[in-house]
């Protein structure tokens, strides 16, 4: 019997040098059909590769012959590094390093929440390197590109602004776990340098967006705003009336897998 995805020991890749070096954990499941793309999972803020969606996508990849790559950003899951050192640029660097290290041939990027921002920045980087043809598609789940700029900064309270100025971070309770979310000045400042919703986004590949209309963290209007910046691409959006931010219910997982299958067939 093969090991379940949760029991597979991650491999690691060191990204960065000297004081900036951190050990990034990843799991690459080999494909059995060389004509199929690699499914690349890019998780959300404080999520890791052992979550429901990531594991179900790997299981589906195994059943359909695709290779599948899951990874943890620094400060997340099995990876090293301090969470509070994390920024979009830092997590993008790590994602690209792992992709460059293990992925060969075409790929479908699957980005959840903040992972959708990382996915879009990955696309921009690959296209700038002349590797845009490797992208077979994007699946963006409850996408939160530019969330620090559009969703956090405009809604900061006076107390949070004071905390950022005096301590370099502020904390916010979250329903997803016992520990509060921590947002640092470095993350917010770096977010401004990574905005993608400032002009037309060209990916050169088909995109499927899945968004819950009952999402308390990323309003569905944000997904509609993203659509406005993708005028040149083949984009499908699935709005889920009672869907929350996680979109991890069995029916949500089925929608996500169907979106992946649609891009894989393409």
Provide block-wise average pLDDT over 10 residues at a time, the chain (266 residues). Answer: 58 96 98 96 96 97 98 97 96 98 97 98 98 97 98 96 97 80 96 97 96 96 96 92 97 98 92
pLDDT at residue 4, as a whole number: 44
Bin 142: left if φ > 0, else alpha if -120 < ψ < 50, else beta. Answer: left
Angle, CA 96 vertex, CA 73 and CA 204 arms, to 5°: 125
Alpha-carbon torsion, ordered 43, 44, 50, 53, to 10 deg: -70
How is 213-265 classified by DSSP, letter by letter? TT-SSS-HHHHHHHHHT-TTS-EEEEEETT--SS--SHHHHHHHHHHHHHHHH
Q: Which two tokens stand for residue 63?
A: 């059943």
Strands (E), 149-191: 169-172, 181-184
Listed residue (4, 72, 46) closest to 171, CA to CA? 46
What residues contact 251, with CB distance under 8 A and at least 6 apart?
A: none
pLDDT at residue 7, as a whole number: 65
Q: Which helix (H) or strand (E) holds 64?
A: helix 52-64
pLDDT at residue 16, as a whole number: 96
| Prediction pTM value | 0.95
Cα end-to-end distance, the chain, whole Å: 32
Q: Which helix (H) or strand (E) holds 49?
A: none
**Cβ–Cβ under 8 Å, residues 142 and 176:** no
């Amino acid at each position: 019997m093969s090991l379940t995805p949760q029991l597979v020991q991650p491999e690691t890749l060191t990204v960065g040098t000297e004081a900036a070096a951190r050990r990034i954990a990843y799991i690459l499941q080999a494909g059995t059909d060389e004509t199929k793309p690699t499914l690349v999972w890019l998780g959300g803020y404080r999520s890791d590769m052992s979550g429901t969606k990531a594991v179900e996508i790997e299981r589906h990849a195994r059943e359909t012959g695709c290779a599948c790559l899951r990874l943890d950003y620094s400060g997340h899951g099995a990876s090293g590094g301090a969470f509070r050192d994390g920024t979009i640029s830092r997590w993008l660097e790590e994602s690209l390093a792992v992709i460059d290290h293990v992925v060969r041939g075409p790929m479908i990027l699957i980005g959840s929440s903040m992972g959708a921002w990382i996915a879009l920045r990955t696309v921009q980087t690959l296209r700038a390197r002349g590797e845009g043809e490797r992208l077979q598609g994007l699946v963006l789940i409850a996408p939160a590109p530019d969330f620090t700029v559009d969703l956090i900064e405009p809604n900061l309270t006076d107390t949070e602004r004071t905390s950022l100025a005096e301590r370099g971070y502020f904390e916010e309770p979250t329903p997803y776990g016992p520990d509060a979310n921590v947002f640092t000045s470095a993350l917010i400042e770096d977010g401004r340098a990574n905005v993608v919703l400032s002009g037309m986004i060209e990916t050169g590949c088909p995109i499927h967006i899945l968004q819950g209309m009952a999402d308390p963290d990323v309003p569905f209007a944000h997904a509609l705003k993203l659509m406005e910046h993708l005028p040149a691409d083949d984009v499908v959006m699935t709005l889920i009336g009672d869907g929350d931010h996680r979109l991890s219910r069995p029916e949500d997982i089925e929608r996500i897998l169907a979106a992946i299958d649609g891009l894989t067939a393409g």
